Chains A and B, each alone.
Chain A
């Protein structure tokens, strides 16, 4: 479950970053999203993101007992993993991966592997 306030934080950040994609981390306690941590898009583009967070902050988040989801926005495309998302999934394979489509105002969660993706009942 992603509570309305957390969802609004993701949507606000995605709109604020227009015309580029936004990215960040969603922290989950079990099935419940508890916090959205906005990140910086280190390769600002309407078609690309590269997540940057202060490494100490991110490492500290990793030491909390929370699951993390990588979040990014698609400016106009549907909130489905793109080829680029699949190819760049890297260490995040099999972990929660959330996409927000600004144009469609839709949020969707996935598990992505280098071979494809499957929906995650989260959003």
Chain B
């Protein structure tokens, strides 16, 4: 048995004891046994497979981090001492209103009620305004998450360059994060992407490679993967298959909604990579087990900018269709009608995929007697100003009822 001395800051977790016993022949075994006996100590002393950042562990008066870390041998009868790791300093003034970096302003987007969009008073629709991220879209979360995960795993190091197939928003987000962190970025996008998008990408410092318009997003994916295969210098985050994409939504988007609302019956998000639906859906299901996670999917052959039809033949690896409770098909015309209504009724200038999400949210809200629907509005409309749909005649109501509900 090894005696472990507990500092006052951790004594609540061990029933007030000044010291406790644990057994093991290495520091790891002793601490594992300690956590088993006193689970409340948990991640306060062990985190991410190592010693937690805010605790120091001493053996024979020495910090075990300067010895063999968790593998340090614990001789019989030796005492282990736990103490708080205290550090700080005057380097950066603290203020909740001042951020150190634009990267710190990604996420924590607001939720706003859409009372004029909701078809009945007993159902509340909330919109999560992802357009309020630094580059104006939800993809800021994904870009930061993917790049930081690759840095942490060692895949991405100074000297490598990023390459990503993207219809636009992910590219702009990657361009911001890459430029703040000092990596060059090349984006592959369909040649029919809007001029604003291409210009924005270049302004943020990205190089652009165009893929055939006729092949859509899938063509950009194909070309980027071919380029990466022929040159090992490229690191391709590849949001369609990168687990850091849904994780950004599990830890961010979904967790923020769960913290903000007491009830969520339906979550609606556009089907793009599937990252939002998988990550936020999973997180919200933990808090609201009966939640309906619903995808707004474009009609086959009727592309909605930023969204993807599974009928195109490519199912993103991060997307597990069995985790979707509903899939509602929505036409481009319905999306556009909804985005214009969103602006006219609620004052929100959303992107086209936001229109698709609002359309589906309203439709599912109509099916409920009462409840709460959350629609994730992936971006604002600023990047679509050159599109002509803003001035087109309003789509008919009967047209908006044509959306196909698959299950």
Determine if A70 and B86 form an interchain contact, defined as CB atoms under 8 angstroms apart: yes
CA distance A53 to B83 in the complex (A): 10
Determine if A21 and B90 form an interchain contact, defined as CB atoms under 8 angstroms apart: yes
CA distance A45 to B87 in the complex (A): 12
Q: Does B407 contact A (CB under 8 A)?
A: no
CA distance A62 to B17 in the complex (A): 11
Which one of B5, B86, B87, B89 has the greatest number of beta carbons of chain A within 10 Å?
B89
Q: Does B77 contact A (CB under 8 A)?
A: no
Which B residues are in CB contact (< 8 Å) with A75? Answer: 90
- The proximity string for A residues 32-64 relative to B, scoring 1 for CB distances below 8 Å and 0 otherwise, is 000000000001011111110111101100110
Mostly helix, strand, loop or mixed at chain A's interface? mixed
Which A residues are in CB contact (< 8 Å) with B153? Answer: none
Which A residues are in CB contact (< 8 Å) with B54? Answer: 88, 90-91
Q: Does B93 contact A (CB under 8 A)?
A: yes
The segment out of B7-15, B244-252, B278-286, B379-387 that lies at the interface is B7-15
B: contact size bracket? 20 to 34
Q: Which of A70-92 contact B (CB under 8 A)?
A: 70, 72, 74-77, 80-86, 88-92
- The proximity string for B residues 80-111 relative to A, scoring 1 for CB distances below 8 Å and 0 otherwise, is 01011111111111111000100000000000
Determine if A62 and B94 form an interchain contact, defined as CB atoms under 8 angstroms apart: no
Which A residues are in CB contact (< 8 Å) with B86? Answer: 23, 50-51, 70, 88, 90, 92
Q: Does A19 contact B (CB under 8 A)?
A: no
Residues of A that sit less than 8 Å from B by CB = 21, 23, 43, 45-51, 53-56, 58-59, 62-63, 68, 70, 72, 74-77, 80-86, 88-92, 95, 116-117
The 26 listed contacts between A and B (C-beta, < 8 Å) are: A21-B90, A47-B90, A48-B87, A49-B87, A55-B63, A55-B83, A58-B7, A59-B5, A59-B81, A62-B8, A62-B18, A68-B8, A72-B89, A74-B89, A81-B88, A82-B93, A82-B94, A83-B93, A83-B100, A84-B89, A85-B89, A85-B94, A86-B94, A88-B88, A116-B96, A117-B94
